[in-house]
Amino acid sequence: MDNFVVSARKYRPATFDTVVGQAHITTTLKNAILTNHLAQAFLFCGPRGVGKTTCARILAKTINCQNLGKSEAVEPCDHCDSCVSFNQNASFNIHELDAASNNSVEDIRNLIDQVRYPPQSGQYKIYIIDEVHMLSQAAFNAFLKTLEEPPSYAIFILATTEKHKILPTILSRCQLFDFNRIQPRDIADHLASIAQKEGIQTEYEALELIAQKADGGLRDALSMFDLNVTFSEDRILRYKEVLENLHILDYDYYFRLTDLLLAGNLPQSMLLFDEILRKGFDGHQFIVGLSEHFRNLLVCKDVATIQLLQVTESIQQKYLQQAAEAPLSFLLSALSVGAQCDLNYKSAKNQRLHVEVCLMKLANLPNVLDIHAVPVLSSHSEPGETRNPEQAEKKKDSSADRDALTTSREPVALPSHTSEPTNGYHPQPNGNGTAKPLPERSPVIAGIPKPVGSKLRTTSNLVTVERPVATMADAVATALAEAPEMIKVDKPFTFEELQTVWQTYARMRDQQDGSRTEQVMLNRAFRLEGTMIHIALDNSLQANLLNDLRQDLLTYLRRELQNSQIQLTDTIALQETRKMIYTPQDKFNYLAEKNPALLELKRTLGLDVDY
């Protein structure tokens, strides 16, 4: 039986062109080799398992290839002595140091010692230092000089997953390359090609699942792939089995649950959650997954953000379909409820109940939001407008309530929008089962109309204004202009005016049930700075009285002086309070104050106060 070699090693790319998902890096490196502009120190940053070490090795192999430049492609020939020794892992021109375990000054000194000797064969010596952020401070410092002025044959490639931990002095000496997370689709395609070479039958969905779980790391994806191949008895990767092996909650659950929640079906939602728990999934994992599902639906709402949906094509269609049925207001509220549940999950005593309460809130959202009645673009049906009669009926019901609001908005459709009256948040059953195309326009947050045109009406004067309005801000400005009595302008006032009003207030209080202390307090001197009144009080008793009175007083002053900015602040004047001399320490302090020589005595003899 042959020794099993894991796919990550067996199929480690050997040329730039076979590196998955890092075209921006390989192209740059190839151009640098081609134009002979190769830097002597590189820093490769990026998540684990995305090809940093692989690219470093390919670079080392390529620049040492004896046949380089004899063909157009900047790739190693794989036949010359150098390439062969590289392929056999026997090249003396490549040195790898794992800084995670060799992070001392000694390790770096050893490396620097090696750098002194030029390569015996080939042109370059390549030093790859992995996890370079783990180097100790002293090791970094020992390395700086060599990194700044390396011999012409030495090339340093530093690799790290945590760029922010690298000292600026190192960063400035290196050429930086940021490696991407690899797109799920690229990973799935790569796995498919490996499966083909290995003679393994696969369902593409299964590979997509692995790609999703790998979260951009190809090495992780490959080990998961190996694991699943080992599990399968007949060398066929099936979606269902991979789902179980990787212990992933099927997307399907989230889709079903969202459908139930949208329909306000709490009983079925709770049963579904129970089913998920019985399959051995954790409640927290579930709620995080559900929130992510809502997030994915949200990004589907807009053409601009749809690229943020990092799922594979087959699932994308399902997302688009459900996103069309889920109103934006529901998704936003659901995300907020989910985030709250996630946040408090750890501290909840009964975690199952905690998630169930979250489900109850979610299932109740359609009722609270009244999503089917919320106006999308228009809140009323214009008599002349043609539209779905059923929708018009619903809108009439809801619009009755909104008439009570101060302003109601009636959009006037712009010419380009006339053919389609609404922006379509109402679930529109789609006969052929395909996803509804996204609306061309960006979605509208429920309740805020699209800025088309508006008719504003204020209840106070019932003046109806009709004019095209460009933005919400304009609409507000228009509303204010049409209702001048609504506008509050702060009137300036003088100190004398304030005094008059203040005294009137004090008299008023006196006639009501004002106490003696209150009158004293109200007759304290005050001064005015802008709209801030400073009043100096004698004691905390007065301060408490003022606090009780503050709101009433401010309301009165603001109304009488017609200025809403008036504020009131008080200070208690410092008083010579006679402190009781009580403790031995107090007594000593009192005496020492009278005769400072006591302090000297205490210090000299090392005395202390007796307690």
> Which residues in this chain contact Zn ion in the complex, by CB under 5 A?
65, 67, 76-77, 80, 83
Smallest gap from Cβ 80 to Zn ion, in A, equals: 3
C-alpha 20/C-alpha 184 separation (Å) is 11
Token pair in block for residue 128: 């790859």
Q: If you search the block for the tokens 């004067």, which residue do you land on?
A: 461
C-alpha 155/C-alpha 125 separation (Å) is 6
Q: Among residues 83 and 200, whose Cβ is nearest to Zn ion?
A: 83
* 3-state SS class at 43: strand
Q: Which residues contact 62 (CB under 8 A, 6 or more apart)?
A: 16, 33, 68, 74, 75, 76
Q: Which residues contact 242 (CB under 8 A, 6 or more apart)?
A: 206, 209, 210, 228, 248
Smallest gap from Cβ 287 to Zn ion, in A, equals: 54
Smallest gap from Cβ 14 to Zn ion, in A, equals: 11
Smallest gap from Cβ 74 to Zn ion, in A, equals: 12
Q: Among residues 80 and 543, whose Cβ is nearest to Zn ion?
A: 80
Radius of gyration of the chain (CA): 38
Smallest gap from Cβ 57 to Zn ion, in A, equals: 14
Nearest to residue 140, comparing CAs of 176, 178, 96, 109?
A: 109
Q: Among residues 79 and 235, whose Cβ is nearest to Zn ion?
A: 79
Task: Give the distance, in angstroms, between the CA of residue 480 and the centroid of all CA atoms in the same chain.
Answer: 37
Q: Among residues 65 and 159, whose Cβ is nearest to Zn ion?
A: 65
Q: Among residues 67 and 589, whose Cβ is nearest to Zn ion?
A: 67
C-alpha 506/C-alpha 512 separation (Å) is 10
Q: Among residues 83 and 188, whose Cβ is nearest to Zn ion?
A: 83
Smallest gap from Cβ 62 to Zn ion, in A, equals: 8
Smallest gap from Cβ 179 to Zn ion, in A, equals: 25
Smallest gap from Cβ 77 to Zn ion, in A, equals: 4
Q: Among residues 77 and 554, whose Cβ is nearest to Zn ion?
A: 77
Q: Among residues 15 and 321, whose Cβ is nearest to Zn ion?
A: 15
Q: According to DSSP H, which parts of 184-282 are helical?
A: 184-198, 204-214, 218-231, 239-245, 251-262, 266-278
Q: Among residues 82 and 291, whose Cβ is nearest to Zn ion?
A: 82
202-218 burial by CB neighbour count: b if 16+ within 10 A, else e? bebbbbbbbbbbbebbb
Q: Among residues 80 and 501, whose Cβ is nearest to Zn ion?
A: 80
Smallest gap from Cβ 41 to Zn ion, in A, equals: 24
| C-alpha distance from residue 233 to each of 6, 43, 192, 201, 463 (Å) | 18, 43, 19, 12, 78
Q: Among residues 56 and 323, whose Cβ is nearest to Zn ion?
A: 56
Strands 154-160 and 175-178, how do they pair? unpaired
Smallest gap from Cβ 150 to Zn ion, in A, equals: 24
What is the sign, positive or negative, of the torsion defined by CA atoms of 537, 541, 547, 548?
A: negative
Smallest gap from Cβ 67 to Zn ion, in A, equals: 5
Q: Among residues 87 and 268, whose Cβ is nearest to Zn ion?
A: 87
297-335 burial by CB neighbour count: b if 16+ within 10 A, else e? bbbbbbeeeeeebbbbeebbebbbbbbbbbbbbbbbbbb
Smallest gap from Cβ 168 to Zn ion, in A, equals: 38
Amino acid code (one letter) for 262: L
Smallest gap from Cβ 34 to Zn ion, in A, equals: 16
Smallest gap from Cβ 63 to Zn ion, in A, equals: 10
Strands 454-457 and 464-467, how do they pair? antiparallel
C-alpha 539/C-alpha 537 separation (Å) is 6
C-alpha 420/C-alpha 437 separation (Å) is 14
Task: Give the distance, in angstroms, between the CA of residue 422 and the centroid of all CA atoms in the same chain.
Answer: 31
Q: Among residues 65 and 210, whose Cβ is nearest to Zn ion?
A: 65
Phi/psi region, residue 89 (left: phi>0; alpha: psi -120 to 50; beta: rest), is: left
Q: Among residues 91 and 329, whose Cβ is nearest to Zn ion?
A: 91
Token pair in block for residue 138: 């002293």
Rounded to 10 deg, the angle between the 184-198 and 204-214 helix axes is 130
Q: According to DSSP H, which parts of 483-575 are helical?
A: 495-512, 516-522, 540-561
